[in-house]
Amino acid sequence: MTIVPPSPGEPRRPSGPRDPGDAWVVSDAGEKYWGRFGAAGLLAVDSERGILLQHRVSWSHFGGTWGLPGGALHESESAIVGALREAQEEAGIPDGAVRARFTSVLDLGIWSYTTVVGDVRVAFEPVISDPESVALEWVPIDEVAERPLHPGFGDAWPVLRSLLSVRPSLVVDGANVVGSVPDGWWKDRAGAAARLRSRLEGLGVPAEEFGVAGSVWFPEVVLVVEGQARDMPDVEGGADGSRVAAFSDVAVVRAEASGDDAIVAEAEGRLAAGESVTVVTSDRGLQARAEAAGARVQSAGWLLGLLNHRES
């Protein structure tokens, strides 16, 4: 593998300092891949208009084809942050307009490309904001394959399209998860529930845990609380105060009576809406009710393992 900087006229912005990631990675066989630290792109999905495609300028790599807004990652930059940054630079996508649903990674060893698939939460019109685009257009999903697609995106599109109908969600038994760790939660049940909510923000789950393709999924998360935990404070924004819109928002259900009943009702409603629901609890009776409703179940330990792994 060799690293080769772009030649004059190759696809880079004409002004400003060059980032160290703006270089070609060249394999021993001579194939060229853009992005010294890998690359990422955003597949923004609008439920009414389709997906946002970029018509690439003729002098770019595979110019004249249609693909996703995206580009080279910066050093130590996560794929999601990089994909959002590039989409903002190339298509003017506003902060908070898109929520990541899952990522799909093509890893070639010497180079990788991450497709970040995200749902449009706030409608917007894309704006050509750099010289790499001839056009930006919302394309109905059924018409995407009719365009002359960038070869990499064309290869990935059939699998990506098949996953657009998959919508995993987690319904979390807050009392059971909080109560599974003897950390003094009983002294302040509302505070313990709030801490769990904060930990759940931005939760990514390996695709194999849901039995689907892709790399990492960011499910909708619902935290059900009961009793004194219902007094947990409301919050605005996310735990990190910044790009949480890119990840999962945690909805809180404050059960007026039985927490178990509220959990089952939430699971049933989401299943009826076509979501793939996983109920998180170690309560065997509740697990049986959730499975009878059609949901998958995972234990409190499973969830805490995911959280501890991320935080370590």
- Stated pTM of the model: 0.87
Mind listing the pLDDT tens digit for each residue in 36-52? 999 999 999 999 999 99
Mind listing the pLDDT tens digit for each residue in 246-255? 455 899 999 9
H-only helix segments in the chain:
79-91, 151-163, 174-179, 189-200, 207-210, 259-272, 284-293, 300-311
Output the average pLDDT for the chain.
90
pLDDT value of position 146: 96
In the beta sheet, which residues pair with residue 25? 3, 33
Q: Where are the domains of the chain?
A: 2-163, 168-311
Superfamily the domain 2-163 falls into: Nucleoside Triphosphate Pyrophosphohydrolase (3.90.79.10)
Encoding tokens for residue 65?
């084809």
Mind listing the pLDDT tens digit for each residue in 184-227? 999 999 999 999 999 999 999 999 999 999 999 999 999 999 99
Encoding tokens for residue 293?
């409703």
Span 168-311: which CATH code?
A: 3.40.50
